Amino acid sequence: MSSAVGISINDRFTTSRGGTRVAFRVEGSGAPVVLSNGLTTTTNFWDYLRPRLLSQHRVLTWDLPGHGASGPAQCEQDACIEGQPAIVAQLMDELEMDAAVQVGWSTGCQVVLELCRVRPHRVAAMVLLLGGAGRVLDTAALPLPGALLDVVVRRVPRPLFARSVDVMSRLANAPLGHVLPRRLNLIGPDTAAGDARRITTHLRAIDAATVQTMIASAQAHSAWEALGGITQRTLIVAGDLDPFAPSEQVGVKMHEAMQASTLLRLPRGTHTALLDHAAEIGDALERFLASPPTPPTSPTH
């Protein structure tokens, strides 16, 4: 792995229009690819795939507000799915990227789909990895019912939520702290111990207030009704053992709803398949990127 445990690889910064300090990195040359993270993770999740992209592509990675090396969200919009496409577009503008293949993981899929809805000309093609189109708690197979989690996130006072995040982080980083997450497939059974530590270590760095808003936003947001109108080529990767986005309830239904999608279904894939199924995903991604791109849709506003 190229980055230290729990530390973002990003080393450049910009300030969003909402005042949030956003960390990013751009590497390589060629057709541009933008990688958008999921909740509670940093750009080290891309460490197995990023090197495969750099030989042919200019690759932009960035940390969500309140994650990695980025600062806490300074406004509610920067912590919401509906607002984060503006951050992606701003980064692309600063780097003079007109359009790019947009790759999202987990809730990053919602960011990519929202970007496609409001700024389709910035999306040459899409890759949706282990994530859904919205209302994520409705389809998640987690230990607590999604409806209860939704109430907790929306109604628990911020100080209490922050304390809960701190307690969970301490438990996850304790000796044998990975045992329960592995049993629940929150961390895949094939995920290396070092990679599991990187996941739990980063939990110490997240801004709880930003994360609370983002979870509520990911549940409230939905691009499901827009899937049928998307014309950009799309690769969907779904894991049968993924408790956050189970294949049958999420990836398969997204594939059926879209006009130009390809589905890669991983029988042993969990939410950490980017780490422990990187070879399969990387092969599919390279084949997808080698195909002719779809011309970006012209902006309508």
Contacts of 253 (CB under 8 A, 6+ apart): none
Q: What is the pLDDT of residue 24?
A: 96
pLDDT at 297: 55
pTM of the model: 0.91
Q: Which two tokens stand for residue 136?
A: 């994520």
Domain parsing of the chain, residue ranges: 12-290
* CA 126 – CA 227 distance, rounded (Å): 12
Q: How far is CA 46 from the centre of its chain?
A: 10
For residue 231, the Cα-to-chain-centroid distance in whole angstroms is: 21
Q: What is the pLDDT of residue 296?
A: 53
From first to last of its 301 residues, what are the pLDDT tens digits of the chain? 333 333 455 689 999 999 999 999 999 999 999 999 999 999 989 999 999 999 899 999 999 999 999 999 999 999 999 999 999 999 999 999 999 999 999 999 999 999 999 999 999 999 999 999 999 999 988 877 777 788 888 888 999 989 998 998 898 888 878 888 888 788 888 899 888 888 888 888 899 999 999 999 999 999 999 999 999 999 999 999 999 999 999 999 999 999 899 999 999 999 999 999 999 999 999 999 998 665 555 554 4
Strand partners, 237: 129, 264
Query: 68: which 2 tokens?
Result: 């990695």
DSSP strand pairing (123-129 vs 234-239):
parallel
CB atoms within 10 A of CB 22: 26
User: Which pLDDT score, from 0 to 100, does residue 267 have?
Assistant: 95
The C-alpha angle with vertex 9 and arms to 276 and 94, in degrees rounded to 5, equals: 120
- What pLDDT score was predicted for residue 1? 35
Is the domain spanning 12-290 CATH 1.20.1560.10? The answer is: no
- State the first-to-last Cα distance of the chain, in angstroms, to the nearest integer: 42
Q: Which residue, chain included where needed, has tokens 């995903």?
A: 281
